[in-house]
Amino acid sequence: MKTSKNINGGVTMKKTLTLIFLSIFFVPVLIFGQTVVKVPSDVFGGSGGNLNKAIDQAKAAGKLSTTVFELEPYGYYVLTGTIEVPAGQKLTLTAPPPGKTQQTGLPQILWTAAEGVNRDYMITAFGDLSCTNIWFMFANVLGDQVGTVISLEDNPGRTKKVNFEGCLIEYSSSAQGAGAITVKTTSVDIVIRNTYFRNNIDKHFRYYGRAVSFPYSSTGWHINSIFFENCTFANIGYVYMQEGGEYGDDVRFNHCTFLNVVMFTLQSGWWKTMYVTNSLFVNTFMFGDIPATRGNGDPNGGTIRIDSVKNFGFVPPFTDAERKIYFGYNSYGLEPWLIDWMANCPYSQTKRRNRENDQIPVPMPMLSPGTLRFFDTVDVKTGKKVFPLMNREKLYDGIVPDFKLAPTNRDSLKSFMNRKWNDNTDTDWSWKIKENSMIGKWPPEENLSYTTPTLRTGAMGGFPLGDLYLWWPDEYAKWKAQSAAEYATIENKLNKGLTDVKEISNVIPSEYSLSQNYPNPFNPTTNINYSLPKAGYVSLKVYDMLGQVVATLFEGYQNAGSFKVDFDASKLSSGVYVYKLQADNVNISKKLVLMK
């Protein structure tokens, strides 16, 4: 029988005495060449360490990489020391998918409160790391925040593979000036799916409490690729942090929810290849823009920022012209209470009385003027974009979702922000750490679904913006079924730029059609209209008479409707070409004639 934890006056037993007897045994099961070790939960009031012991046993036997450590649903795992993953090996932690009841919740890993234990690192991964359905609680058993990190350590000459899926990562602070997941390696690929970063706050510093970050003042570390899908970041200092000339080559966010971010959501503006799509930004960069501090420079912006290579402060192995950045189908807005607090908190009232209005914080724009220049500047001679592979589209600025229940402790958050603008004194602005997090409450009490119409269908394919996995489970299943087509669309926009496809009617046609291009013959541009009776994967390509693709006008997921695309054939030779529409097992082809 499991009972709730008593945070204020010690702890109570979670298991029966039978479990106390069983907890010294780790039950191995052989599946497909891997040994699954079922690690029993620690007991409340005990010394903990079951997970440490199980991992140490596998390492001693030389079987760490072939062992899967399966934790119990709603389990309670007390670390008695750092878990180290040796170079060239892999640690796999997993638990069954969570259900809708407390007993089927995520197992929680947290620290012992015993004295004499070094808690700098929860995990040091010199090798690979895979974590599925695990709750990492950056606290001890008494509920005290612990300055600890999951550190991805360097293994020279080898690319590290790191995966988090279905995890909850909570209460990380400013340990080592880095993030809950700290990158201290020269080569790593990171995939984070369906993961909730909650209450990663620092009581003192406005710029700490991060999801993923390089350490402060470090140099030489590097991320090859990092991918976030259906993740939520709520109550956090920064989300993804690059500094000291350290950056990721390939950074991607799709269907993520960002809520209550003190400063930079995604920093710095050193993106080489990046997309951010189908995401919600709410109360991001809450610290705001302070004109007196900024001077004549650009405000940062509340979402992403793009800086010119010449302003990086280091020389990267790419030019501005080689960069690919796509920012599409995203929303940004601040809740009215936050806008009011910026203007009328005690700090701002004092500054206004002192006629120091330029020291009063104001909301950040969605995108800075400098970022917009990269997205929008057109060459006056050619009429074409200066940076054709830096693009923005379908952005919803100033629309705030009506979340059903946001994990916002508004009073303590307002106090924290006033202090950060004013005297920088400390306050803990986390949401229900003692009441919910320290008892492993499941499912989460909060609910970041919403009914706001524009955002409810604002993502590609008419899905809701933001994290679908946690907040829209029915929509998530539908989205997952078509996700390959959606990613094909995103990749096409990222790598080939935006096509000139325009919706000319949202009236649903009765059949697929492909019109004859007009004019025809043409030189060098022509228009092609087509109609789709239902949403789905669509391909519209141009072929030469040998069957080779010479142009992709559209490829990816598209809603039902009627569309027009402008085809620029200025780079092709005169001749006859075939253009083909493919959708839902329908193939329609027509010929066009280019005459120069």
> 150 - beta bridge partners?
123, 181
Mean pLDDT of the chain: 92
**Arithmetic mean of pLDDT, 504-511:** 90
Q: What does the pLDDT average to over 475-479?
A: 97
pLDDT tens-digit profile of 277-313?
A: 999 999 999 999 999 999 888 999 999 999 999 999 9
Judge whether 514 and 553 are in contact, CB under 8 Å. Answer: no
Neighbours of 323 (CB within 10 A): 20
Residue showing tokens 């280019």: 594
* Block residue for tokens 């039978």: 18
- Please name the residue that has the structure tokens 């919403």: 450
Q: What region, left, alpha or beta, does residue 128 occupy, with left being phi > 0 and alpha being psi -120 to 50 degrees?
A: beta
Give 383-425 pLDDT, tens digit per residue: 888 999 999 999 999 999 999 999 999 999 999 999 999 998 9
The order of strands in the sheet holding 240-241 is 83-85, 121-125, 149-153, 181-184, 212-213, 240-241, 266-267
Q: Which residues contact 381 (CB under 8 A, 6 or more apart)?
A: none
pLDDT at 569 over 70: yes
Q: Does position 557 have pLDDT exceeding 90, yes or no?
A: no
Average pLDDT over residues 94-110: 98
Percent of the residues in the chain that have a pLDDT greater than 70, as a whole number: 95
pLDDT score of 559: 83
* pLDDT at residue 2, as a whole number: 40
CB-neighbour burial class of residue 398 (10 A; exposed 0-12, middle 13-18, buried 19+): exposed
Across 556-563, average pLDDT: 87
**Tell me, what's the pLDDT at 174?**
76
Sheet bearing 561-568, strands edge to edge: 501-505, 561-568, 525-532, 513-514
User: Which pLDDT belongs to residue 535?
Assistant: 84
Report the percentage of the chain scoring pLDDT > 90. 82
Strand pairing partners for 153? Answer: 184
Mean pLDDT, to the nearest integer, of 50-64?
Answer: 97
pLDDT for position 552: 86
**Residue 26 clears pLDDT 90, i.e. is over it:** no
Q: What pLDDT, on a 0 to 100 scale, did the predictor assign at position 27?
A: 65
Rounded to 10 degrees, the C-alpha dihedral 226/229/234/236 comes to 0
What the block records as the tokens of 26 is 């780790």
Beta strands 196-200 and 83-85 are unpaired
What does the pLDDT look like over 582-591, one tens digit per residue? Answer: 998 999 999 9
pTM given for the model: 0.88
Q: What is the pLDDT of residue 320?
A: 97
CATH number for region 501-594: 2.60.40.1930
Residues 6+ apart with CB under 8 A from 188: 152, 159, 160, 161, 162, 222, 223, 224
Cβ atoms within 10 A of the Cβ of 584, count?
12
Strand intervals (E) in 128-179: 128-132, 135-140, 149-153, 160-165, 168-170
The predicted structure's pLDDT at residue 266: 95
**Would you state the structure tokens that stand for residue 492, as one six-digit string?**
């096409």
pLDDT tens-digit readout, 144-161: 999 999 999 999 999 999
CA 482 to chain centre: 20
Nearest to 142 by CA among 72, 48, 56: 48
Asked if the model's pLDDT at residue 17 lies above 70, the reply is: no
Confidence check: pLDDT of 47 > 70: yes
Confidence of residue 500 (pLDDT cuts 50, 70, 90): confident
**How sure is the predictor about 485, in pLDDT bands with cuts at 50, 70 and 90?**
confident
- Run of H or E including 502: strand 501-505
pLDDT, tens only, 74-93 = 999 999 999 999 999 999 99
Q: CA 347, CA 345: separation in Å to the nearest integer?
A: 5
How confident is the model over 198-248, as pLDDT tens digits?
Answer: 999 998 888 789 999 999 989 999 999 999 999 999 999 999 999 889 999
* CB contact set of 507 (below 8 Å; sequence gap of 6+): 561, 562
What are the sequence ranges of the domains in the chain? Answer: 1-166, 180-498, 501-594
How big is the CA angle at 498 (ends 492 and 500), to the nearest 5 degrees? 125
For position 177, what pLDDT does the model report?
86
